[in-house]
Amino acid sequence: MSMLEKNLVAMRWGATAERIRKAVPPMGYRAVIGSDGTATFAREGDSSRRVEWLGRTSMPRAAAEAMVASLDARDVNGMGLGIGTGFEWAAFARKLGRHQAIFVWEPDAGMARLALEVCDLSRLLAAGKIVLFVGEDLGEQLKAFLRENAGYEGPTLLHPLPTLMAEERRVLLGQAEPALQAALMEQQLLTEQAARALADAYEKGATDAKVGMWLGAAHGFERPWQREAVAGALTMDAHDQTSLRARMMLMAQHRPSVVVSDVFAGQLLPVELLPAGVRVETFLTADATPTVTAIRANDHVIVQSEYQRAFLREQGVAETAIELRRPVVKAAARVGFGFSVALVGDLPAADAKTLGVELPTHVALYEAAKALIVEDPFAVTPGRLGDLLRRVQHRAGIEIKDEHTRDTLGRMLKRVLAPTFTAVGFARLLHEGGVPLTLIGTGWEQAGIARATLRPWPATEDATGTLAGVAVVAGVHWADVLGPLVMAVPAYGLPLLSVDAANEAFAQVVKPGQFVAAAKALLADGAKRDTLAAQARQALGIF
């Protein structure tokens, strides 16, 4: 099977597949090997002998990440303008959350055919992560797709490929914007119809059915406590997305008397549409910060820690509506006498070359940002990134006047530089203070600490080998301290150390200036480590 046919067979939207299959490629293009060794297409330009590459790049695979680096996936579905080589949208799809998809529109079906002959998008097309449209009638295609695929939220952002010429960009934006508006109006109408159908369905009364809904990924029941929570429940199709309309249609179809979720019902459904007798069971994970949006008298909240129960009571949730259900954690042997402090996390690659930082002014801004974060990792928090951006400009002696450059640097700070260099600065601070380190996860080589022990994530539930020789697990913020080892760390008898006051129920919290001293003190005091580890187990419900 050719690459083209493999992609077409994988498409869940058959109308596009038929158009591409019948399309004739643009004249003059011939199969060639790009400068990165990837198969692609090229032709000689009409007015010169200059080579025109498919997607305007001779490096389709190597350049893909950089091509979409400035496109912000946010937390919604978007519409990509122009298929390029296809590799760009494969790279963009890696940015998407489990509940997201990227719609891609290529007006020229022949160009789409060329891209699908060289780029394997079959897995993403089959999974519905990429939805491709071709032809001039985007609005009608998009409305038809939304009518036939209830699980999808329509695209609300436009993502023109950076390789588009100015006139191409203007034309595509001019055609795509009204198409998106029309599609969103269609989606609103369909959602209103689903709401009426849900209200009408419950007039017949509730059934004994139980429905499980997880925010962002209704089918993502991966942890044991999640599987237990939805045992015997109906869930959404594993290949579908989880739009509000799809949730209401599922409810109307089965009229469940019980809804199980990981967030409060108001974030999943219009609760005013549910009869009073429908019971909502909300399971909050041990590392979730509960946000009370809409709790009705019949709702039931299941928490895994005393900390969460106390928090909900403070928010006005009735004691009778809260159940403390401690998680069952696999018994773990103590890891023995520890001698190092462990930092845990996956650090994004943050070197200038990987990020495509090349212009002298951009390099100066990059180096200033890196230095500021590493020098004072405790000062970098999500709420202070705007101030950090101003300090970066001051340190580099450069005022950013271009809005695009400012936005690009802001996103780079938030997504890459701050997460990576906060951890790097934190590790160096401990190292320079004479604290032995074990660095668990990926990307820690960027810290440049030759004497640190580097370890990958545990391959199984047994983390004994990964945590061997560790006495304390430390981090600046909540996710750093707990992260994927939220249950494992206290279960193995290890204390947690942090500077984030939100962690007080789980960890020893100290001021930034006392952090190195506190780490050293814990390394030397086994009795205190045992006490703190026991407190963490109690707070997390681990016995």
Domain CATH for 275 = 3.40.50
| Structural domains in the chain (count) | 3
In a shared domain, residues 165 and 223: no
Provide the pLDDT for residue 331.
46
334 within domain boundaries: no
Considering the domain architecture, whether residues 175 and 121 belong to the same structural domain is answered as yes
pTM of the model: 0.63
What's the rounded Cα separation, in Å, for the pair 167 and 429? 51
CA dihedral 427, 431, 434, 435 (to 10 degrees): 40
Q: At what angle do helices 3-10 and 14-22 cross, to 10 degrees?
A: 150
Residue 213: Cβ-neighbour burial (10 angstroms; 0-12, 13-18, 19+):
buried
Cα separation, 264 vs 267, in Å, equals: 6
Q: What share of the chain is helix, strand, coil (3-state, %, to 5)?
A: 45, 15, 40
**What is the Cα–Cα distance from 292 to 121, expressed in whole angstroms?**
40
Same domain, 43 and 170: yes
Shared domain check, 109 and 16: yes
Same domain, 261 and 175: no
Q: Are residues 246 and 116 in the same domain?
A: no
Q: What is the pLDDT of residues 9-67, one digit of tens each?
A: 999 888 899 999 999 999 999 999 999 999 999 998 665 568 899 999 999 999 998 88
pLDDT of residue 55: 95
Q: Is residue 378 situated within a structural domain? A: no
Provide the 10 A C-beta neighbour count for residue 71: 22
Q: For residue 373, is it within any domain?
A: no
**How far, in whole angstroms, is CA 521 from its chain's centroid?**
37
User: Which residue range(s) make up the domain with 213?
Assistant: 207-324
Please report the pLDDT score of residue 217 as a whole number: 45
Helical packing angle, 109-118 and 14-22, nearest 10°: 90
Buried b (16+ CB within 10 A) or exposed e, 102-118: bbbbbbbbebbbbbbbb
In this prediction, residue 481 carries a pLDDT of 36
Domain membership of residue 17 (yes or no) is yes
Short-list 522, 518, 524, CA closest to 533 = 522
Q: State the alpha helices, DSSP H only, in 150-260.
A: 166-202, 224-229, 244-254
pLDDT at 141: 95
- Would residue 369 count as lying in a domain? no
Q: What CATH number has the domain bearing residue 437?
A: 3.40.50.2000
Flag whether 384 is in a domain.
no
Q: At what angle do helices 418-432 and 515-524 cross, to 10 degrees?
A: 60
- Each residue's pLDDT, cut to its tens digit, for the chain (543 residues) gives 899 999 999 998 888 999 999 999 999 999 999 999 999 999 986 655 688 999 999 999 999 988 898 888 887 899 999 999 999 999 999 888 777 899 999 999 999 999 999 999 999 999 899 999 999 999 999 999 999 998 899 999 999 999 999 999 999 999 999 999 999 999 999 999 999 999 999 999 999 999 887 664 444 455 555 666 677 778 765 445 678 898 899 899 999 999 888 777 677 788 788 888 898 888 776 555 556 666 676 788 887 666 677 778 887 888 888 888 765 545 455 555 678 998 887 777 888 888 878 888 889 999 999 999 999 887 776 667 778 888 999 999 998 887 777 878 888 887 788 888 988 998 999 999 999 999 988 889 999 998 899 988 766 667 777 888 888 888 755 344 344 455 567 777 788 888 776 666 677 888 888 889 999 998 888 888 888 888 777 766 655
- For 453, phi then psi, to 5°, come to -90, 120
Q: Say yes or no: 105 and 26 in one domain.
A: yes
Report d(CA 8, CA 74) in Å as an integer.
Answer: 28
What is the model's pLDDT at position 238? 46
Residue 53: beta bridge partners?
42
Amino acid, res. 233: A
The rounded distance, in Å, linking the Cα atoms of 211 and 242 is 13
Q: 367 lies in a domain?
A: no
Indicate whether 220 and 94 sit together in one domain: no
Per residue in 390-409, pLDDT tens? 899 999 999 888 777 787 88
Q: What pLDDT sits at residue 541?
A: 60
The Cα angle at residue 125 between residues 151 and 171, in degrees rounded to 5: 90
Cα 263–chain centre separation:
17
Domain co-membership, 57 together with 136: yes
* Nearest alpha carbon to residue 398 among 407, 387, 406: 406
- Regarding whether 465 and 423 lie in a shared domain, the answer is yes
Q: Are residues 173 and 261 in the same domain?
A: no
Cα–chain center distance at 488: 23
Identify the CA nearest to 100 among candidates 219, 222, 243. 243
Domain membership of residue 201 (yes or no) is no
Q: Is 17 buried (19+), middle (13-18) or exposed (0-12) by CB count in 10 A? A: buried
**Does 468 lie in the same domain as 320?**
no
Closest CA to 57 of 80, 78, 82: 82
